[in-house]
Amino acid sequence: MIELDEIIKNIIDEDKIGFDISFEYAKNCSMLLRKQETKSLGRKLIINIIDNWKKIDESTHDIWIDLIESEGFYPYLEKEKLNLTSTASALRKEMSKSKNLDFYLHEEQMRVKNLLDSDKNVIVSAPTSFGKSLLIEELVAERKYNNIVIIQPTLALLDETRKKLKKYDEHYHIIVRTSQEPSSQKGNLFLLTAERVMEYYDIPFIDLLIIDEFYKLSANRDDERSDVLNNAFHMLLKRDNVKFYLLGPNIDEISDGFIEKYNAVFYKTDYTLVEQLVYEKYSEEFGDRGVAKENKESALFIELLKLKDEQTMIYCSSPRSARSLAKKFLSFLQEYTIKNDYDISLIEWIEQYVHKNWMLIECLNYGIAFHDGALQKHISSSIIKYFNEKKLHFLFCTSTIIEGVNTSANNIIIFDKYKGQRKPENIIDYFDYSNIKGRAGRMMIHYIGKVYNFNEPFIESKNLKVDIPFFEQNPIKNEVLIHLDEEDIIDKTSTQYKEISALSNDEKNLFKKNGVSVKGQQNILKIIRKNISSKKELILWNRKPNYEQLKYILTLAWNNLIKEGETTSPMNLGNLVRVTYWYETNASIGWLVKDIYSNDKKNIEWVSENQNRITEKVKNLSKDDRKEYKTGKEWKKFEANKSLMKLDDLELIDKAIREAFNILKHWFQYKVPKWLRTINTIQEFVCLEKNIKSGNYLYYANRIESDFIRDNLSILREYGIPKSAINKIEKYITSDMDENEVVKLVKSKKFIEQINFIAYEKEKIEDSL
């Protein structure tokens, strides 16, 4: 039997595969498919044959078609118009056709669908290109369930799902925000993050729960949001005994006893219709610093040049790394004058509303972009759209690609080996490597994906277990433990449980409702109880705080609600208070960019004026005095800002833009509103104890979270329409118009034509609604 790698190499390299060779390969394939342990190798060969179909001798086509059908590759049989010769095989193909979608399911999708149609709960572990999410649409399309919750890890992924499922709005009211009321006239489709599920206090009875990327339940994968995902899952299980479908990639097992308790089946498969070819590109001359780093980057750029006519994603450890590498590659391409021929409407928007010198503009002109979690939703979705339309060829990404951003990438390059900061504990494991690798190729688009690894080969590891903390409780965080009823606690003798039990029922309910650090909330409750009279002017405010009131509340949150090990850099408390307070007056990304840039320039000037004095001072201090001086404000300011001296003006602009987007996404649209709501409930609690009138921070929290957009227009931002377009729309829509009516009006051509939108704004309205 010929070695499989040799066969595949020949298929790729040869211009024509003659009868004898094709027949021999078919015999090899048949033998591989007979044994369970070699089936995946047989499928690998089939995929390579389909990808090179025109090379295969026509007289052997029927043999190969029989093999393709035997493995249930019905979507490819239909797409490639491959005719089945037997009645039995033709019948099997027709039985695989979805009853609700114009699509043929492959063999393993049919098996999973049969499980979903049973009375069992279903947990699926399958490769990235299995087509798990297609089954979500199948479940929605059949209209069997009245109220469905779909939990996905990011708002970008949820928005992608919304766009796919909006065709079912005749039968389902699609809900993406906690302020939206469920419909009583038709079904409801809740597309929410776990946080929003917990914040949707009047969520109706749920018939079906779908959790995408369910490995994020694990307490052992260092995901700061695992606790709230556990709470959302547990709440719907406990309250509604909800039927669930959990899906994720490359998982070997889950918590022992879970499937038995919850009438579930764990279905693991390696079945895929996409194959990845891995090219190990590591050299001992590569490294993270100095010449070794330059060697690695040069090798990357040469490889990218070879792939310039294909779609390639490059995995980088962080947003800073992605932008830095994109900028260097831009300089490399400029030497070859390889410019993009496509008109990218996003460029005009950036010039008007962000900064005319942002390097992304020039990157887009050369078919380059970057993608990370900090970019505004409308920008990141546009970049993915341009990439999938082949208007861009090079996409520098962070771990956002692990979390299910769907692209049509031919190639994935794993350039960095870290996830986040370059520390040994942040080296990506085999699970993350497999998920990144799985983004190469796309079912029905690219049958073969190529993976280029610029690091030492990743060592394969098996038995990845997803622990479910609310069930297994080893380990379990206080924020999950507090939600469990006494009968569900495994170890009632633990110190952790005794501390939770010592809380009054009212305190427990308060802390559960807020869903953030239990100990942090205890500290804040203690402080507010103590200060409610002496500092009432700082605590008992309504609607909009003054500077000192905001500073007091954010200081409480910063000192008590930031999790251990959580990264806040480059933000600090003083700056957070300042930008939060002043943002309402200006409320634009452009203002944030100018503010950060201006402060950086001032800090550069300060360092320049004081560095000789500070350096001399440190040199002349005694060892003990030097140690004490280095704990002071002046030294900390000097250390924090001296690296700015190395940046030129364009680099300072890029830094300001990166930080501005992070402030908007992480702080204004997530952290600050959550903190304000949390402390609001705590001060209300104390005021009720003291029988005094409470403050109310909700108006201000909601305004920050919605980017100071009017309530009934916030849905447009949720759908990925840029704020610049919403500002233009505002004067044409009254504040009392229902948000569903707003959406209906805005997507009408007549309405769009009466407003002076730029091309990009029109494009986003048409794509989003």
Q: Tokens representing 592?
A: 């944030």
10-residue mean pLDDT profile of the chain (769 residues): values are 86 95 96 94 96 96 97 96 94 94 95 96 94 92 97 90 95 94 96 95 95 94 87 97 96 95 96 94 90 94 95 94 95 86 94 96 96 91 95 93 78 94 89 92 92 94 89 95 96 95 96 95 98 97 97 98 88 95 92 96 95 92 91 91 93 95 94 97 98 97 95 94 96 93 93 95 94
Inter-residue contact 253 to 465 (CB < 8 Å): yes
Listed residue (335, 457, 326, 348) closest to 396, CA to CA: 326
Q: What is the pLDDT of residue 1?
A: 59
Which neighbouring-strand residues pair with 265?
122
Q: What is the pLDDT of residue 196?
A: 95
Q: How far apart are the first and last CA of the chain?
A: 56
Inter-residue contact 451 to 307 (CB < 8 Å): no
Q: What is the pLDDT of residue 711?
A: 93
Task: Report how far apart, in Å, the C-alpha atoms of 595 and of each of 258, 355, 367, 705 are.
Answer: 52, 12, 30, 20
Can you point out the beta strands (E) in 454-582? Answer: 465-466
Listed residue (543, 481, 539) closest to 511, CA to CA: 481
Length of the chain: 769
Q: What is the pLDDT of residue 344?
A: 96
Residues in Cβ contact with 284 at an 8 Å cutoff, skipping those fewer than 6 apart: none
CB atoms within 10 A of CB 475: 11
Listed residue (360, 146, 339, 133) closest to 247, CA to CA: 133
Rounded to whole angstroms, the maximal C-alpha distance in the chain is 93
Q: What is the pLDDT of residue 2?
A: 72
Q: What is the pLDDT of residue 74?
A: 96
Task: Report how far apart, in Å, the C-alpha atoms of 266 and of each of 248, 473, 656 are.
Answer: 11, 20, 47
**Using the 8-state DSSP alphabet, how is residue 168 labeled?**
G
Inter-residue contact 707 to 751 (CB < 8 Å): no
pTM for the predicted model, two decimal places: 0.94
DSSP 183-248: PSSSEEEEEE-HHHHHH-TT----SEEEEESGGGG-TTS--TTHHHHHHHHHHHHHHH--EEEEEE
Rounded distance, CA 411 to CA 381, Å?
20
Residues in Cβ contact with 696 at an 8 Å cutoff, skipping those fewer than 6 apart: 542, 543, 680
Inter-residue contact 464 to 251 (CB < 8 Å): yes
Q: What is the pLDDT of residue 224?
A: 79
Q: Tokens representing 103?
A: 């699509």
